[in-house]
Structure formats: structure tokens, C-alpha cells
């Protein structure tokens, strides 16, 4: 074997050895990057998409000129659960609620936890589809007791929703509308309410007068 060939083989062996050493490091870095991206867009308690990812998906749906519905809900008396049964039970409850919401069928495209005990659904479909999704979410939570670490809890939610087929509506506006409807539901009976500008404004006005 010539000296040149021998040198080439030696160099090749060094390159392969270097690749063998670098491959695990590159694989670890790739896994770490995937994990970091996932954590940046998901809630650490429920594993659901977080506010950041929900906003991104909502913006994308609006940009596609797709009929869009937003459903917001929060759990009635959740603070009592945290105060009397500990935050561990509260987190377990949030996780179980998240599981129920994430199992809702289409046209629900994404279920997210925005913050605290507030969850959101993105619905791609008609106004009737959005109304059906809001009712399904309410029923999914209230349908039966929710098993937590130290027992079963009966839970209900206040649900508000809104719908649009206009591409020029902003995500912030839709979330504000759904939040207003959810507020109305919470103040009245803890059920399901659609955002209707005049009715929602009237409810807020009456609440301010009472206080």
C-alpha cells in the first residue's frame, strides 16, 4: 500500500471517528431544541397548547379567510378548590379538564390553556358549529365527576363564544368578545353565552349599577 493511500485512509478514519463522537452531541442538541420549542408553546400542567400557540393558530386561520369561532371557558369556584384542597389537587383538576377538552371532536381544531383556570377552543366552521362546540365543552366538564388525587369533584364551567367570517378581525378582538360572553355567563348562571354586543353591554351596565 502506497504512503499516499495510507495517509488517505488514516485521514478518513479520523473523520469517521470525529463523526462518531459528534453524532451523539448533535442528536442531544436536536432533542433539546425540539423540547425547548415544545415547552415554549405548551402548558406545563396540562400539556395543552398555551396562549402563544393558540394566538398563532388563530392568526393563521384568520389569514386563510376561514370562518372562525373562539370559545373561552373557566371553571366555576376553582379558587375554592385551590384554597381548600391544595394546589396539587387544583393542578390535577386542570389536567383532567384539559384531557376532556382535547378529546372534543372536529370542528374543534385546538384546545388550549391560556392561564389559571381559563381554557380556549379554536373552532373552524360556522356559527352553528361554534355554538355546538361551546355546548359540548360545557357538557364535557359537567357530565360527571372528575377524579383527582384524593377524590372526585363535581365541576362546572362558564362558557362564552364568538364567531366571525371576516379576515380583518383581529385575534385580540375575538378573544375580547368571547371573554365578554364568558363574563356574562359567569355573572348570570355559569352556563353558555354567545357574544351579542348589545346584550353583553347591557349585562355589564347592570353589574356596574349594582356596585
Residue 174 neighbours by CB under 8 Å, 6+ apart? 58, 68, 70, 162, 164
**The three grid cell numbers given for residue 132, joined into one nine-digit string:** 355546538
On whether both 160 and 189 belong to a single domain, the answer is yes
Instruction: Specify if 46 maps to a domain.
Output: no
C-alpha distances out from residue 207 to 44, 57, 67, 114, Å? 35, 34, 32, 25
User: If 0-12 CB within 10 Å is exposed, 13-18 middle and 19+ buried, where does residue 204 land?
Assistant: middle
pLDDT of residue 33: 73
What integer is the mean pLDDT of 78-102? 93
On whether both 89 and 132 belong to a single domain, the answer is yes
Q: Which helix (H) or strand (E) holds 123?
A: strand 118-124
What value does the mean pLDDT of the chain take? 86
Over residues 6-64, the pLDDT tens digits come to: 555 455 555 555 556 666 766 767 777 767 787 899 999 999 999 999 999 999 999 99
Instruction: Specify if 145 maps to a domain.
Output: yes
Provide the 3-class DSSP secondary structure of residue 192.
Answer: strand
Instruction: Please give the backbone phi and psi of residue 182, each rounded to the nearest 5 degrees, phi first.
Output: -65, -40
Whether 202 shows a pLDDT value over 60: the answer reads no
Over residues 13-22, the pLDDT tens digits come to: 555 555 566 6
On whether both 122 and 200 belong to a single domain, the answer is yes
User: CA-CA distance, 103 to 202, in Å (whole number)?
Assistant: 35
What integer is the mean pLDDT of 148-155? 86
Percentage of the chain beyond pLDDT 90 is 62
203 — pLDDT class (breaks 50, 70, 90): low
On whether both 104 and 196 belong to a single domain, the answer is yes
Whether 171 shows a pLDDT value over 80: the answer reads yes
On whether both 29 and 79 belong to a single domain, the answer is no
Instruction: Specify if 182 maps to a domain.
Output: yes
CATH of residue 57's domain is 3.30.70.270
User: CA-CA distance, 164 to 43, in Å (whole number)?
Assistant: 27
Instruction: Specify if 200 maps to a domain.
Output: yes
**The three grid cell numbers given for residue 72, joined into one nine-digit string:** 373561552
On whether both 11 and 67 belong to a single domain, the answer is no
On whether both 94 and 162 belong to a single domain, the answer is yes
Over residues 108-136, the pLDDT tens digits come to: 999 999 999 999 999 999 999 999 999 99
On whether both 75 and 146 belong to a single domain, the answer is yes
Number of domains in the chain: 2
pLDDT of residue 204: 53
What is the residue range of 204's domain?
51-210
On whether both 110 and 206 belong to a single domain, the answer is yes
Number of H helices, E strands in the chain: 6, 7
On whether both 57 and 19 belong to a single domain, the answer is no
Instruction: Specify if 109 maps to a domain.
Output: yes
pLDDT of residue 197: 85
**C-alpha Rg value of the chain to the nearest Å:** 25
- Map grid coordinates 364567531 to a residue: 163
136-156 b/e with 16+ CB inside 10 Å = b? bbbebbeeeebebeeeebebe
**The three grid cell numbers given for residue 144, joined into one nine-digit string:** 360527571
Amino acid at each position: 500500500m502506497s504512503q499516499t493511500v495510507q495517509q488517505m485512509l488514516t485521514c478518513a478514519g479520523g473523520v469517521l471517528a470525529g463523526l462518531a463522537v459528534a453524532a451523539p452531541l448533535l442528536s442531544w442538541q436536536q432533542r433539546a431544541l425540539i423540547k425547548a420549542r415544545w415547552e415554549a408553546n405548551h402548558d406545563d400542567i396540562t400539556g395543552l397548547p398555551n396562549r402563544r400557540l393558540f394566538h398563532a393558530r388563530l392568526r393563521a386561520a384568520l389569514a386563510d379567510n376561514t370562518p372562525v369561532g373562539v370559545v373561552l371557558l373557566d371553571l366555576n369556584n376553582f379558587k375554592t378548590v385551590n384554597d381548600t384542597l391544595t394546589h396539587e389537587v387544583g393542578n390535577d383538576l386542570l389536567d383532567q379538564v384539559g384531557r376532556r377538552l382535547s378529546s372534543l371532536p372536529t370542528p374543534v381544531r385546538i384546545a388550549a390553556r391560556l392561564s389559571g383556570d381559563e381554557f380556549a377552543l379554536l373552532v373552524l366552521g360556522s356559527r352553528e358549529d361554534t355554538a355546538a362546540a361551546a355546548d359540548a365543552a360545557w357538557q364535557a366538564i359537567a357530565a360527571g365527576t372528575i377524579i383527582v388525587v384524593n377524590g372526585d369533584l363535581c365541576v362546572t364551567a362558564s362558557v362564552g363564544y364568538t364567531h366571525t367570517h371576516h379576515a380583518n378581525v383581529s385575534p385580540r378582538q375575538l378573544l375580547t368578545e368571547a371573554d365578554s360572553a364568558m363574563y356574562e355567563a359567569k355573572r348570570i348562571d355559569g352556563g353558555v353565552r354567545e357574544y351579542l354586543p348589545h346584550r353583553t353591554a347591557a349585562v355589564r351596565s347592570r353589574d356596574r349599577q349594582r356596585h
